[in-house]
Amino acid sequence: MKSKKWKVVLALLLIGSLTVQAQITDKPNFGKIAIVDATIHTVTEGTIQNGVIRLDGEKIEYVGTDRSNISDEYYIIQASGKHVYPGFMDSGTSLGLVEVSAVAVTVDNREIGNMNSNMLAFTAFNPNSVSIPVTRVSGVTHVITAPQGGLVSGQAALMDLWGYSPDSMAIDVTAGMVLNWPSIRSRGRGARNLEQAEKRYKETIKNLNKWLDNARFYQQMMSEYEADASGKVKPEKNQQLQSMRELVEGKTPLIIAVSSEKDILNAIEWASHEDNISLNIVFAGVEEGWRVAEQIAKAGIPCLVSTLYTPIRPYDHIHRPYENPSVLMKAGVKVAIMTGEVENVRNLPFNAGYAAAYGMGTVEAIKAVTINPAEIFGVSNLLGSLEEGKQANLFISSGDPFEPLSQIEHVFIKGYQIPMDSRHTQLFEEFLDRDATQE
Amino acid sequence: MKNIVNTLLLLVVFSVESFAQEKGSVFIQNATLITITDGIIQNGDVLIIDGVITGIGTDLNVPLGVKVVNASGKYVMPGIIDAHSHLNTVSTNEARNPVTAEVTMEESINPNSVSIYRAIAGGVTSIHLMHGSANVIGGQGETLKLRYGVSQDEMRFVDAKRTIKFALGENPTRVHGQGNGIQPRTRMGVEQIIRSHFDEALDYRARREAYLETKKVYEGNRRGRRVPPVPVAKNLRYDVLNDIIDGEILVHCHSYRADEILMLMRVFNDYGIKNYTFQHANEAFKVAPEIAKNGAYTSVFADWWAYKFEVYYSTAYNATILNENGVTNSINSDSNELIRHLNHEAAKTVRYGKTSEADALKMITINPAMQLGIDKMVGSLEIGKHGDIAIWNGHPLSIYSKVQQTYIDGKKYFDLFTDPADMRIAVDSDDFYREWGFNTFIQGREEDACMSDVFELIQQ
Amino acid sequence: MKINKTFIGIVSFITMLIAWIQMPLLAQEVPAHAITNVMVHMADGSVIENTDIVWRNGIIEQVGVNEFIPFDAFVIDGGDSLHVYPGLIDGMATWGSPDIPRDLPRLENPGKPPYDRAGAQPDRIPAHYLNEDKAFEDAMRAGFTLVSLGLDGQMLPGHIQPFNLSAPKLTQAHAFSDPLALQGSFDTAPGGWGSGAYPSTQMGVMAYFRQLMYDASALQEHMMYFEMHSDMTQPEQNDVLEALFPLVNKEYPLFFEVDSKEEIERLFRLQDEFGFEVVLVSAKEASALSEELKTRNIAVLASLDFTEMPDWLEEEIKETEANDQEINVSNDDDANNKDVEKTAPTEEELVFRSKQKQAWEEEINNVASLVKAGIPTGFTSDGMSPKEIQKKINLVTEHTSLTKSDLIELMTVQNANILGISNRVGTIKEGNSAHLILTDGPLFEKGTKIHIQVSQGVINDFMEN
């Protein structure tokens, strides 16, 4: 009985793929595509009922309600009752850098060293990681993939999730320099322990400042030399300092991983110092941001935060992690939601869903995984909303994408309608009715 | 005379067992009742008297003297049951021997952990507090009711079946083989550890029984002319293993790969062991028909995978495949974070494979109850069952829904609107307030929570 | 031969006499001693003035007003102003114990370690393991005349044995009596991950303990059978298990070092299973279980090693006091700067503080609550240096209902009762061993000095220097 029932279901699945999904079983669909009758959540320009989106190759050609320009060339996706959203972007992951966390030889996100500004996540990004298809079919189309460890871990990359080489998938190879804020960690109770911790902290900050001073000097020297090399001896190239030229100019964001109240305040103080004012600083983690939201807002520092972790202090209210993004947002901080995940980046919508449910509201939470991160990382001309001329990164959902009960039905990345399969779906299809035979 | 003494002894034991638990009465009105076993009742009422559900239906009479909670627009669901938790252990792994059946989580309960409160706030009312997965045969588990604020003894779920943790694969081979250079280093070794210990236990039982028998004869023979037996000491470890063989203890086996799941079923069939649950079981979907045939259960993560090698070839569709193949499956947390939203973890079975909403909810209520041998008492809204319920402000599978109140035995243990933020019971007089410092960005995970204490130990 | 013996006797008497003349008041061995004209503090807290105490061979011969002082007694005159208290007893300490060995070799099979590596060494007797320890002299100077010593270890470190604190360097000869209990705790096997062993958790310790008891009772039975039937298999020799026979037979108490309420409850489980007598050592949360302790007739050797008062509370009290005295500190620059840095506590922090204060008060009231509940309560230094005792006594008398004389009672007669040696020590009366301290004021009061400490009749004078 059971196996028969599933044969029917499988047959239906097959029929489905032969008709609607005929062109995406193996290869993506690409070219002129029109999605019609959908509820379109543009993010930047409101919601359009019974809307139309026309794609032409990589770009969005049109967003609106006018169906008159859909010629025969267009492949039409009928999406009545469905919802279209810009592809989601996760602002903090190690996707593609780590295949199996517990198997050290597959972990490429943590280089040895304390000042690794020249390390590029882009280099270690494995475009064939099994986790990538698993992620993108959930509607997460872009990730910041970041290195870890040391004081300065290296440079995070902004990647899209369709392609066969890091080169074709990189939106920004040097999307942000990752700095792990030197936390004042008291090794015990009492004033003396705290004093020692503060001493260690000051030492680290001194090194950090020196490192940045060197970089500023190098940048100035190289700029002068590059502007006019005549009569000048070519300066020796320093890989590490070379990698920081855009950082000190404020072109590459400095992503500061900082979490606790006191550390956040210290980081703000440091960021506000005149030497550092030219830096483009972004906070990541920021679990205790709600305690000092006003100060963060005043400093104008955007925050990358998640929601699915346990309350930090034993006396924190149970909902603090869920409410943190909304408290920050309401104080005026630009907030992007991230997962901090490796293989389960697909849970980004649920992280955002908790933010939405606990004070942020769905509309703002959608922004926190689309236009906000695009703005924070300086790519809002390309990503983050459904607007004409932007890259065609979007997905079609059966309902609110934050709801686990909704299905993500189609995903487009830079115009490619990607196959909706992954190891997870393939194993499902193989094993749902394992012992069935061909009819 | 002897019988009377025995009866008296039993009475004493009984009165110790049935310690004074606080039970409550409450009448919850006009809610959408998700009964789990009998569909959904709109505008329904639930009456709990002295900790037991005595009425379910529409337009029930409001009994005198019972507190009434108007829950119109709300959902009432039985309390969530987590079949795999280390929520409030004192220690999780007795990791220094591959077999430690003699230890029990009953003696490793921390009743003061604020994690308990955080779980209740997610609608969870019972957990299976488990030993970790360092050992092939780990310690015995303890099913708890999350009565926050009572003593460790009063947290115990009285009349729950006894359970024990087994573990296959990477964790025991890594801790003992790789870590200490003793068997098991491989999955071959894991099987033989189990078989040899069962055999030793059976041998011990025969020797011990023979000794006791001879002793009786010897002591009955007042003249003492017969030669007395060499005493065989009571052996706690083997006693527990024999109880497993006798079916008095339910095995919950940490396992991932399909082949090791099959191995354990072969071994258990050889020793006549039934009614066991595969925990985590990321590859159970590959052998779902065999699991169903053996009547075994599974208790899985909603979507955890790829953090270590033995979960690399797995799928978030695991639960759906198992369910569709007739395996009674539950969704567990094994995490103090996931336990806060197991409703949402269950909802993922709908996203991954379109399990029905009704079945998804079973996976966090009646199914885990079956796996723990408490399904006659909890896991659904039924007359006669315990008053362990949660009131939600929306459908429990929606990400926007929140638990508003949680009741255990009819007594309220969580109230979203009236509880203060700081719900700690045990406050360290040596605690400090401000000196916090840490940072996180990318976290990921390398291990299931089963092993966290072992890794802390290794890192020391 | 006979002449020789007499001769030697005379010579040694003369030698002693010379020693006595040259070094008065130092560890003497003379026929009798007396302290006269002192205020004697009795067990019930009453004081008898103008009293004389006479002892000989370590035993008190007379206590009373205007007693007849024997002609051969060396007399210390209290001059009406000195006080005599019974010598203080430390209910349990591990002074002089060998340290727990570090850098233990890695075990081949950590799951089946030798007994000592599992932490089970109940066969050890303190008298055989006495090392030099500065704490002995510190304790003497603090007024202690007797200490029941245990050993540093884990689950079953060994026996508990009382010693006279009659010399700063203790040897077997200073033993007050044979061992009187076994020592226990929930401490796990030594060695950490690298060289540790089973049991490595508290639940493991409990299981291992049970198995030891089962093995011991089987061995005991076997030995009993073998005594009657030498033709049967001979039982193995096993000092560890044999040391547990008194516990198996409920003839011997287990002095168990434990603090938290939950751990005490776990100890109750073991007690229920095996029925032995238990004395709690340290027991910082014992008062939470007063009723149960009473039912079980369990005594407590309580620790006074309390957590320091939280900084903020100390400051708060100081501020209140300063305000009360209306001391104007506003001109003080330092104080001003501090005030600027200090931010008012948030509402959350106030909640935190009130909970912390409650926890701290519960902790410090533990001993008072036990006494109030009628639990036999004594005192153990339990890891605390004797030098710290005065500070902790001030803390506990300042913040709880306990008085200094209550504490003296815990440290004398109560401890003697709990250790089962009250027929010999704990009170000053005829027939008891001479354990006394001579002070120039009420004990534990500010400025009071201990002049002389007498342990088992041996005098130690601390006013010498």
Count of C-beta atoms within a 10 Å radius of residue C410: 27
CB contacts under 8 A, B 67-96 vs C, are 90-91, 93-96
State the pLDDT at residue A125. Answer: 98
Helix runs in B272-356, H state only: 288-293, 318-324, 342-351
- Contact between B228 and C229 using a beta-carbon 8 Å cutoff: yes
Angle formed by the axes of helices A320-331 and A348-355, to 10°? 70
Closest in C200, C210, C217 to B95, CB measured: C200
Q: Does B230 touch chain C (CB under 8 A)?
A: yes
**What residue of C is the nearest CA neighbor of A191?**
C311
Torsion of Cα atoms, C328 then C332 then C335 then C341, to 10°: 120
Contact B107 C189 (CB under 8 A): no
* A188 shares contact with chain C (CB less than 8 Å): no
A314 contact C CB<8A: no
A315: chain C residues, CB-CB within 8 Å: 348, 351-352, 355
From the list B337, B434, B447, the residue facing A308 with the nearest CB is B337
Distance CA B149, CA B170 (A): 37
How many Cβ contacts (< 8 angstroms) between chains A and C? 5
CA distance B413 to B121: 9
Nearest beta carbon to residue B460 from set C192, C221, C229: C192
CB A151 within 8 A of CB A180: yes
Question: Is residue B166 domain-shared with residue B260, that is, in the same domain?
Answer: yes
Q: Report d(CA B228, CA B247) in Å as an integer.
A: 33
- How many angstroms away from the CA of B354 is the closest CA of chain C? 43
Kindly report the CATH number assigned to the domain that includes residue B64: 2.30.40.10
Same domain, B33 and B144: no
CB of A315 within 8 Å of a chain C CB? The answer is yes
Q: Which residue on chain C is closest to B181 by alpha carbon?
A: C108
Q: Is residue B9 in a domain?
A: no
State the nearest Cα–Cα gap between C120 and chain B, in angstroms: 16
Q: Which helix (H) or strand (E) holds C148?
A: strand C144-149
Distance between CA atoms of residues A351 and A336, nearest Å: 11
Is B2 within the bounds of a domain? no
**CA-based nearest residue in chain A for residue B174:** A102
Chain C residues touching residue A191 (CB < 8 angstroms): 311
User: A291 to chain C nearest CA, in Å?
Assistant: 11
Residues of A in contact with C351 (CB under 8 A): 315
Co-location of B95 and B219 in the same domain:
yes
Contact B152 C214 (CB under 8 A): no
**From the CA of A174, how many Å to the nearest CA of chain B?**
17
Question: From first to last of its 439 residues, what are the pLDDT tens digits of chain A?
Answer: 344 444 444 444 444 443 333 323 578 999 999 999 999 999 999 999 999 999 999 999 999 999 999 999 999 999 999 999 999 999 999 999 999 999 999 999 999 999 999 999 999 999 999 999 999 999 999 999 999 999 999 999 999 999 999 999 999 999 999 999 998 887 776 778 888 889 999 999 999 999 999 999 999 999 999 999 999 999 998 989 999 999 999 999 999 999 999 999 999 999 999 999 999 999 999 999 999 999 999 999 999 999 999 999 999 999 999 999 999 999 999 999 999 999 999 999 999 999 999 999 999 999 999 999 999 999 999 999 999 999 999 999 999 999 999 999 999 999 999 999 999 999 999 999 999 998 7
Do B229 and B292 have their domain in common? yes
Decide if B108 is inside a domain. Answer: yes
Partner chains of A (3+ C-beta pairs under 8 Å): B, C
Same domain, B144 and B247: yes
Q: Looking at the complex, report in whole angstroms how far the Cα of residue C262 sits from the nearest Cα belonging to chain A.
A: 20
Q: Report CB contact under 8 Å: B441, A178.
A: yes
The answer to whether the CB atoms of A183 and B121 lie below 8 A apart is no
Contact A180 B304 (CB under 8 A): no
Give CA angle at C32 (C28, C33), nearest 5°. 75
B183 & B292 share domain: yes
Q: What's the rounded Cα separation, in Å, for the pair B154 and B147? A: 8
Does residue C214 sit at the A interface (CB-CB below 8 Å)?
no
Q: How far is CA A265 from the centre of its chain?
A: 25
State the pLDDT at residue A9: 46
In a domain, B11, yes or no: no
Quote the percentage of chain C above a pLDDT of 70. 89
Query: Contacts of residue B421 in chain A, CB cutoff 8 Å?
Result: 315-317
What's the mean pLDDT in C431-443? 96
Q: Which residues of A touch C348 (CB under 8 A)?
A: 315
Optimal mutation site among A6, A306, A360, A424, interface B, most CBs of chain B within 10 A: A424
Residue A392 amino acid letter: A
Instruction: Note the pLDDT of residue C189.
Output: 97
The conformational region for residue C421 under phi > 0 = left, psi -120 to 50 = alpha, else beta, is alpha
Region of poorest pLDDT, from B254-268, B334-348, C14-28, C320-334: C14-28
* pLDDT top residue among C10 and A40: A40
Distance separating alpha carbons of residues A89 and A12, to the nearest angstrom: 33
Torsion A92-A98-A101-A104 (CA) sign: negative
Other C-beta atoms lying within 10 Å of the C-beta of residue C18: 10
* Minimum CA–CA partner of B286 in chain A: A431
Q: What is the DSSP letter of C13?
A: H
**Could you give phi then psi for residue A292, rounded to 5 degrees?**
-135, 35
* Angle, CA of B174, B179 and B183, to the nearest 5°: 70
Distance CA A219, CA C371 (A): 75
By Cβ distance, the residue of C189, C210, C349 closest to B236 is C210
Say how many CA atoms lie within 13 Å of C134 toward its Cβ.
Answer: 4
Name which of A184, A315, A430 to mutate to probe chain B: the one with the most chain B Cβ atoms within 10 A of its Cβ: A315
C440 neighbors C81 (Cβ within 8 angstroms):
yes
C103, two tokens: 């850098």
| Domain match, B390 and B405 both | yes
* B165 in any annotated domain: yes
Question: Pairing mode, if any, of strands B52-58 and B40-49?
Answer: antiparallel
pLDDT of C111 > 50? The answer is yes
* Residue segments in chain B with a per-residue pLDDT below the cut of 70: 1-21, 222-225, 434-436, 446, 455-460
Per-residue DSSP letters for B209-250?
Answer: HHHHHHHHHHHH-TT--SPPPPP----HHHHHHHHHHTT-EE
Spell out the residues 6+ positions from residue B443 whose beta carbon is closer than 8 angstroms to its own: A309, A340, A341
What letter would DSSP give residue C344?
P
The answer to whether B428 contacts chain A (CB < 8 Å) is no
Chain B positions touching C232 (Cβ under 8 A) are 227-228, 230
Residue A291: what pLDDT?
96
**Strands, E, within A42-96: which ranges?**
47-56, 59-64, 75-78, 83-86, 88-93
Residue A180, H or E segment: strand A170-180
B72 C-beta neighbours (distance < 10 Å), count: 9
**Which residue in B has a C-alpha nearest to residue C263's C-alpha?**
B107
Chain mean pLDDT for chain B: 92
Among residues A84, A160, A146, the alpha carbon closest in space to that of A116 is found at: A146
What is the ipTM, given to two decimal places? 0.93
Q: What distance in Å separates the CA atoms of residue C153 and residue C123, rounded to the nearest whole number?
A: 12
> How many contacts does B have with C, using Cβ atoms within 8 A?
142
A336's enclosing H/E stretch is: strand A335-337
Q: Which domains does chain C have, with CATH numbers?
A: 16-86+426-465 (2.30.40.10), 90-305+362-425 (3.20.20.140)
User: Which pLDDT belongs to residue B434?
Assistant: 63
β-pairing, C181-185 with C254-258?
A: parallel
Taking CB atoms and an 8 Å cutoff, what residues of chain B touch C284?
Answer: none
On whether the CB atoms of residues A169 and A123 are closer than 8 A, the answer is no
pLDDT at residue B400, rounded to an integer: 98
- Looking at the fold, whether B222 and B314 belong to one and the same domain comes out as yes
Residue ranges of B 161-180 with Cβ closer than 8 A to chain C: 180
> Please, where are the H alpha helices in B94-150?
114-120
Q: In this structure, are B411 and B460 located in the same domain?
A: no
What's the average model confidence in pLDDT over C168-175? 96
Tell whether B241 lies on the interface with C, counting CB pairs under 8 A. no
Secondary structure of residue C132 in the 3-state scheme: coil
Strands A83-86 and A303-305: unpaired
B372 in a structural domain: yes
User: Residue C69 is encoded by which pair of tokens?
Assistant: 């002082």
pTM of the model: 0.92
Amino acid identity, position A67 = R
Q: What is the distance in angstroms between the Cα of A92 and the nearest Cα belonging to chain B?
A: 6
Within an 8 Å CB–CB cutoff, is residue A431 touching chain C? no
CA B92 to chain centroid, in Å, comes to 13
Expressed in percent and rounded to 5, the helix, strand and coil fractions of chain B are 35, 20, 45
- Residue C352 touches partner A, C-beta closer than 8 Å: yes
- Helices B187-220 and B258-271, interaxial angle, to 10°? 20
| Residue B137 belongs to domain with CATH number | 3.20.20.140
Answer yes or no: are the C-beta atoms of C455 and C28 closer than 8 Å.
no
Residue B367 inside a domain? The answer is yes
CA–CA dist A48, A360 (Å, integer):
22
**Nearest alpha carbon to residue A304 among C464, B198, B442:** B442
| Per-position b or e across B177-214, b if 16+ CB within 10 A of its CB | bebbebbbbebebbbebbeebbeebeebbeebeebeeb
pLDDT tier, C341 (very low <50, low <70, confident <90, very high otherwise): low
Radius of gyration of chain C (CA): 26
Residue with the two structure tokens 């995490």: B335
Nearest CA in chain C to B98: C111
Helix (H) or strand (E) holding B4: helix B2-17
CB spacing of B182 vs C111 below 8 angstroms: yes
Q: For residue A388, what pLDDT is reported?
A: 98
Look at residue B12 and tell me if it is in a domain. no
The radius of gyration of chain A from alpha carbons, rounded to an integer in Å, stands at 24
Question: Using alpha carbons only, what angle is made at residue A183 by residues A181 and A186, rounded to the nearest 5 degrees?
Answer: 175
Same domain, B368 and B441: yes
Structural domain of B144: 80-378+431-460
* Same domain assignment for residues B315 and B450: yes
**Domains along chain A?**
88-383 (3.20.20.140)
Q: How many CB pairs under 8 A join A and B?
A: 200
pLDDT for residue B21:
67
Q: C193, B94: Cβ pair inside 8 Å?
A: no
DSSP string across C50-96: EEEEEEETTEEEEEEETPPPPTTEEEEE-TTT-EEEEPEEEEEE-TT
Test mutation, A315, A317, A320, chain C, max C CBs within 10 A: A315
Number of structural domains (chain B) is 2
Name the pairing type of β-strands B40-49 and B26-34: antiparallel
| Same structural domain, B355 and B411 | no
CA closest to C353 among chain A residues:
A315
